[in-house]
Amino acid sequence: MDLLEKARNLPDQPGVYIMKDTESAEIYVGKAKSLRRRVSSYFQKRDHSPKEIALIENITDFDYVVTDSEIEAFLLESRLIKDLQPKYNFMLKNNELYPYLEITMDEDFPRVLVTRKKMTQKSRYFGPYVSAGGLRATVAALQKIFGFRTCKRAISATDKKRKYQRPCLNFHIGRCAGPCADRISKEDYRKRIASLCRFLSGQKKDLIQDLEKEMEEEAKAYRFENAARLRDLVDALNHIHDSADIDESLAPLAPGLDPQKSVQALQDALKSPVRPRRIEGIDIANLQGGETVGSLVYFLDGVPFKDGYRRFRIKTVDGQDDFKCVQEVVRRRYGKLKEQGEELPDVILIDGGKGQLHAAEEVLKELGVTEPILMSLAKQEEIPFRAGQNEPVGMGRRHAGLKLLMHIRDEAHRFAQHYHHILRRKAMFGEDDK
């Protein structure tokens, strides 16, 4: 059998492939964004790693399963590895090293968490999964559809004070249904969790059929708001393949950086009564060719949140004037947030020294924006300054809070450079993204 020829006839769709040996035993399970490209790569003449060579030498045939999306391929891969126990998926033999998805079913409003150990029988677990990064990205994509919460708040359905609470950022950006602020009932929220569990178990088609029936019943009973919500959920499930690639939808964590500890360390260094959960980093890229661009990255609880990233093409500044460019980005970003009454970040970090810091401070004063802590951090020196203070913030080079700021600054720089190259490559001189 010509395995390369067979692979080239596979569909150019996401799915899972199962490699077999001479005895037709399943020896390896993998997922692919394109089955044709991924499986063909095994049998092409190219430099393979020693592990790949050992696997390829034992492959005599393969099967495959097409899925509607890469997210579903990711989830199916885990289920098949768990069921088939292929010997070349040796990395999953010690399950405690690999992540699970935990749903805290004993709570009124269950949370969805990524964990590495099964800590309680009261929770429901899915996995283990091969990739922690892939799992985090999958959670981010599914959260947009099901609106589940990932926070650590203790929320009781009997707490009448919830209706006076202000919902968190995830509610405002459409990632959470807002149980903390009484925006959804316990019954409706748990229906969403039940639907999520069915999806994670591979019951997407049956789930959609049941949701469509429920939608029709709600419409016949003139409960059009409920019917519209179910319609939107069905539409999202049908178009989940339109989501971003799960391996790229979240920016990488900095090596050795513990997000929670870093945020706490930063709060301690700033002597702030408010935990700096929401941090925005701003950078300006002035490169050859005349284009000047700005970038804004968003970190939530110490983790990059790419849905919050923004790009700006500088419109009002001629030449290379970093101070004025910083001012334009600050004015456009925070002027818009204030005008629309949207939530401001806890910390704004400017890439640069005192000059850039003072330039940003002037604009915030003009706008009447006083809530965020304004900081700057220049490359190489790595000395953080805070607006309104002459002396730098006391954080040594090994300080966890400083490492978080450095990571945010570097991510803003990377994002600005990336946008600059897009402009030059595509001659894209239109409006900024946001």
Q: Domain locations in the chain?
A: 3-92, 97-202, 259-426
- Catalogue the E-assigned strands of 271-352: 278-286, 292-300, 303-304, 310-313, 347-351
CB contact burial 70-79 (16+ within 10 A = b; e otherwise): bbbbbbbbbb
pLDDT at 420: 58
Q: Is 302 left (phi over 0), alpha (psi -120 to 50) or beta?
A: left
Regarding the domain with residue range 3-92, which homologous superfamily does it belong to in the CATH classification?
GIY-YIG endonuclease (3.40.1440.10)
pLDDT at 271: 94
How many whole angstroms separate alpha carbon 316 and alpha carbon 428? 17
How many whole angstroms separate alpha carbon 297 and alpha carbon 414? 10
Per-residue pLDDT of the chain (434 residues; tens, 9 = 90+): 689 999 999 999 999 999 998 888 888 999 998 999 999 999 887 777 777 788 888 899 999 989 888 888 888 888 888 777 788 876 544 444 678 899 999 999 999 998 887 888 889 998 778 777 778 878 888 888 899 999 888 899 999 888 888 888 788 888 899 999 999 999 999 999 999 998 888 888 889 998 999 999 989 988 888 888 888 888 888 877 544 444 433 344 455 578 889 999 999 999 999 899 999 999 998 755 467 888 999 998 888 887 788 888 888 888 778 899 999 999 999 999 988 888 899 999 999 999 999 999 999 999 999 889 999 998 777 899 999 998 999 888 889 999 999 999 988 988 877 665 565 555 433 434 44
Q: What is the dihedral of CA 318, 319, 325, 328, to 10 degrees?
A: 0
pLDDT at 243: 46
pTM: 0.51
How many whole angstroms separate alpha carbon 132 and alpha carbon 371? 35
Distance of CA 299 to the CA centre of its chain: 10
Query: What CATH architecture applies to the domain 259-426?
Result: 2-Layer Sandwich (3.30)
Q: Which two tokens stand for residue 415?
A: 């994002």
Q: Which amino acid is at 50?
A: P
Q: Which two tokens stand for residue 157?
A: 């359905």
How many whole angstroms separate alpha carbon 360 and alpha carbon 96? 47
